[in-house]
Amino acid sequence: MPASNLLQPVRFEQDDARARGRAHGELWRPQIHELAELRVALCLERAGYRDREALERVAAAHLPVLAAEEPALHEELLGIAEGADLSPERVLVLNHYTDLRDIPGAAGPQRDAGEPDGCTAIYLYGEHGAVLGQTWDMHATAAPFVRVMHLLPPGGVEVLCLTLTGCLGLAGLGQHGVAVTINNLNSTDARVGLVWPALVRSMLAASDARAAYERLLAAPLSSGHHYMIADGRAYFGVECSGELKVLTQVGPKAAHLHTNHCFDPVLRGRERLVPGTTSFARLDMATTLYAQQRPRDVDGLWALLGSHDGYPRSICAHVDDLRGDPSASRTCARIAMMPAHGRMRVAPGCSRDDQPLELALDRFVPAAAAGPLH
């Protein structure tokens, strides 16, 4: 089966969030069990949890926050757990893995968070408007679990999103043209907070980029991420730690690049750089390639995201090859969105095997049809 078939969008048309989650959980039950087990093991290996019970206690503490902040997405997560026949705590670990690694475990000192993982995200304003894309880099063992969900609730907001089996969503595009990408940041002030894939889904459903930005500002976060939010007319790049949020990038007509370290000086005091991180090398490479290639459209951005210059610390990342370690970081998917057109390009794995899928929203309603760029 061609790898791109993994990313053929799966449609979920339930209005009821619990039923939608249950369908998701039933469809990918064995994969959800496998990925949850992988991530529990990685959390125990890389963070300061004494044992599974300690990890699950911290995971469980996130459920009431999710219920209070995003009741429908809480229902959807419980539905995934029911459908997959797995505990909600395990599904929580699957979703919130990167942040759970940063939260000090019950057993004391944080161990090396390990994985110098990444993601390279790029925004540009080209000949046909805004384009926002990223590589999705994570433990290479996650690659078989990458999927695309096409959510089409008759009474709700349509969303196309990249995800993992059992996960609420990683990045994507909503019916009103709000596109969101993510870079992981490792924070020293991590805490129990809102499960970040639920926040992504909430932002994708927003009426425009500003509303998504305001949702982010109001969210009690758990650990660090950089969020890029664009709707074709507005752009927000926001660096966050567990406790702080700083708008570091604005300007929809500019180009913006980000990897996995903070630009903001205050946030730099809240970040833990993982030894061996490729973040600086990838940002340098992306900046150089951007200046050389001057990408003007989705094809240009796509070529940049697939670059192997500097391999294996390249934008299309292959750190797992370097270390011979299948739990080291690799580009597991690439995504590019054209928010003003309701379109998305997505492909699994390495750009050498490029088999992108071109996807479109069925019910696209452009955000802020009138008004100046801001």
> Which residues make up the interface to Zn ion (CB under 5 A)?
316, 350
User: What DSSP string runs through 4-19?
Assistant: GGGGSPEEE--SSHHH
Q: Shortest Cβ distance from residue 142 to Zn ion (Å)?
A: 15
For Zn ion, the closer of residues 46 and 318 by Cβ is 318
Q: Shortest Cβ distance from residue 34 to Zn ion (Å)?
A: 24
For Zn ion, the closer of residues 167 and 316 by Cβ is 316
Q: Shortest Cβ distance from residue 302 to Zn ion (Å)?
A: 13
**Helices assigned H by DSSP within the chain:** 17-27, 29-46, 52-69, 71-84, 88-102, 196-204, 209-218, 265-268, 279-293, 298-305, 319-323
Token pair for 187: 């924070």
Q: Shortest Cβ distance from residue 1 to Zn ion (Å)?
A: 20
For Zn ion, the closer of residues 209 and 317 by Cβ is 317
For Zn ion, the closer of residues 126 and 310 by Cβ is 310
Q: Is the peptide bond before 312 cis (omega within 30 degrees of 0)?
A: yes
User: What DSSP string runs through 181-243?
Assistant: EEEE--BSS--S---HHHHHHHHHTSSSHHHHHHHHHHS---S-EEEEEE-SS-EEEEEE-SS
Q: Shortest Cβ distance from residue 352 to Zn ion (Å)?
A: 6
Residue type, 117: D
Judged on CB neighbours under 10 Å (0-12, 13-18, 19+), 11 is exposed
Q: How far apart are CA 214 and CA 110, in angstroms?
A: 32
Q: Which of 357, 17, 356, 25 is nearest to 201 (CA)?
A: 17
For Zn ion, the closer of residues 209 and 332 by Cβ is 332
Q: Shortest Cβ distance from residue 22 to Zn ion (Å)?
A: 36
Q: Shortest Cβ distance from residue 97 to Zn ion (Å)?
A: 23
Q: Shortest Cβ distance from residue 225 to Zn ion (Å)?
A: 24
For Zn ion, the closer of residues 316 and 361 by Cβ is 316
For Zn ion, the closer of residues 228 and 350 by Cβ is 350
Q: Shortest Cβ distance from residue 353 to Zn ion (Å)?
A: 8
Token pair for 178: 């709000």
Q: How far apart are CA 69 and CA 203, in angstroms?
A: 13
Give buried/exposed letters for 46-83 (b at 16+ CB in 10 A, else e): bbbbeebebbbebbeebbebbeebbebbbbbbbbbbbb
For Zn ion, the closer of residues 151 and 336 by Cβ is 336
Helix (H) or strand (E) holding 165: none
Q: Shortest Cβ distance from residue 308 to Zn ion (Å)?
A: 6
For Zn ion, the closer of residues 55 and 285 by Cβ is 285
For Zn ion, the closer of residues 43 and 316 by Cβ is 316
CA 135-77-81 angle, to 5 degrees, is 110
Cβ neighbours for 348, distance < 8 A, ≥ 6 positions apart: 3, 4, 6, 7, 143, 146, 332, 333, 355
